[in-house]
Amino acid sequence: EDQVTQSPEALRLQEGESSSLNCSYTVSGLRGLFWYRQDPGKGPEFLFTLYSAGEEKEKERLKATLTKKESFLHITAPKPEDSATYLCAVRGAAGNKLTFGGGTRVLVKP
Amino acid sequence: IAGITQAPTSQILAAGRRMTLRCTQDMRHNAMYWYRQDLGLGLRLIHYSNTAGTTGKGEVPDGYSVSRANTDDFPLTLASAVPSQTSVYFCASSAAFQGANYGYTFGSGTRLTVV
């Protein structure tokens, strides 16, 4: 059974204070690790897909990295608009379904 | 605007009543999914459909049913609602094929309260 654990559950940052979110996973035959952003009252919004260890992807102040057991989402010099819940998910070898972690709630204070 | 439309946005439902949550996509994605999101439990898969005419059970299927008569629509039915089905329900779709890795597109959700 695929499992995803995210830490910390919540993160309070000052504007400009860089930090990292962790996503640890166990999966049979990783076919993709996904990062999503979710704003209150809305559905998750796709950010990145990582496929293999060593891969990195960037978008504005966000950078996602992947190892064989975990992924990190680095937030560099965050702004208040980066406040959201960040979700990690994996797709294993069995089908197209995604297994999600519990998310990390990020609050960036000005 | 291409995407997923869910209806209703929110609903208060008496226990024991039957209800169908609607989901329509206009992206011609072949795979569709229903998740529920609960505080502390994250997103959990209820049912899925890899292609029109087929459905499968996810992690928490009890008390729910789905159908996939065509590519665009994937309704979720609660036959007899119970308070534990109070949740936010998200429909999602993906252009998924064997061996391919695509992310999901999510709808805006339906907030359901069963009283």
Tracing tokens 């609660």 back to the chain, one arrives at B78
Strand partners, A12: A107
Torsions phi, psi for A18 (to 5 deg): -70, 150
Segments of chain A scoring below 70 in pLDDT: none
* CA dihedral sign of residues A12, A16, A18, A21: positive
Chain B positions touching A31 (Cβ under 8 A) are: 99, 101
| Mean pLDDT value across residues B60-84 | 97
Q: B23 — contact with chain A (CB < 8 Å)?
A: no
Q: B109 — contact with chain A (CB < 8 Å)?
A: yes
Give the Cα separation of B76 and A56 in Å (integer). 37
Q: Which residue has the higher pLDDT, A63 or B29?
A: A63
Decide if A38 contacts A84 (C-beta within 8 A). Answer: yes
Question: Minimal CA–CA distance to A97: which of B89, B40, B56?
Answer: B56
Residue-wise pLDDT tens digits, B86-97: 999 999 998 865
Q: Which pLDDT score, from 0 to 100, does residue B1 have?
A: 59
- The yes-or-no verdict on residue B11 having pLDDT over 70 is yes
Interface contacts (A, B; CB < 8 Å): 60
Asked if the Cβ–Cβ distance from A34 to B103 is below 8 Å, we say yes
Residue-wise pLDDT tens digits, A84-93: 999 999 988 8
Residue type, B94: S
Q: Which pLDDT score, from 0 to 100, does residue B49 have?
A: 94
- The yes-or-no verdict on residue B10 having pLDDT over 70 is yes
